[in-house]
Chains A and B, each alone.
Chain A
Amino acid sequence: GENVEQHPSTLSVQEGDSAVIKCTYSDSASNYFPWYKQELGKRPQLIIDIRSNVGEKKDQRIAVTLNKTAKHFSLHITETQPEDSAVYFCAASMGTGGFKTIFGAGTRLFVKA
């Protein structure tokens, strides 16, 4: 069945360093790849997304890259700040309208001041 794998499960970086989280997906029909951030005790919220006809997208300190051939996509956070500490989830959407969404297991990011 559809599967999204996410690595690493935990990531600790020094403030100001970059953080990279990687995901792979199994269903070649996937066409939409969102990233969600979840702070402790809160609901997940979308931070950036990318569609299958785009290779890279950037929004200030965060960027996503997509390699459709390899079925890989990655989240890059530059100049990390303590408030970036949270759990990050990648996801892949498949099906009509790109709605049915399968999530990765999450990466807990710690940014040390």
Chain B
Amino acid sequence: NAGVTQTPKFQVLKTGQSMTLQCAQDMNHEYMSWYRQDPGMGLRLIHYSVGAGITDQGEVPNGYNVSRSTTEDFPLRLLSAAPSQTSVYFCASSSQAGAYNEQFFGPGTRLTVL
């Protein structure tokens, strides 16, 4: 199993550009989520999904869109990038089954918006 994969690893954008951060998991997990990590602010939840076709907003959803057309993929779209979106982005997945809700994180995408 590859676990949770994210592409790209690094990205530099200009203000106003759009792009999609890709996230995929091969563990058949129902739950997937996107976080951004900024120095001193921990991991903040952007959007999450409890299954294909179902998404919801987290703590900091503005400026980001998501969709979940398959169980495996959960892309994050930046519609018009702003310098405030410079951050490290982590995707995570977890299973609904059982008593444990451990989230498995991808390796992260480091995004810089100029």
Contact = CB atoms under 8 A, between A and B. Distances in A.
Interface of A: 1-2, 6, 9, 32, 34, 43-46, 49, 51, 89, 91, 93, 96-106
Contacts, number: 61
A34 B56 CA distance: 21
B83 to A, nearest CB: 22
Contacts of A105: 40-42
Interface of B: 31, 33, 35, 40-45, 48, 50, 56, 58-59, 90, 94, 96, 99-103, 105-108
A99 B50 contact: yes
Nearest to A2: B59
A89 B42 contact: yes
Given A1-B59, A99-B31, A46 B45 contact: no
A93 B90 CA distance: 17
7 contacts: A1-B59, A9-B40, A32-B101, A43-B105, A98-B101, A99-B96, A102-B45
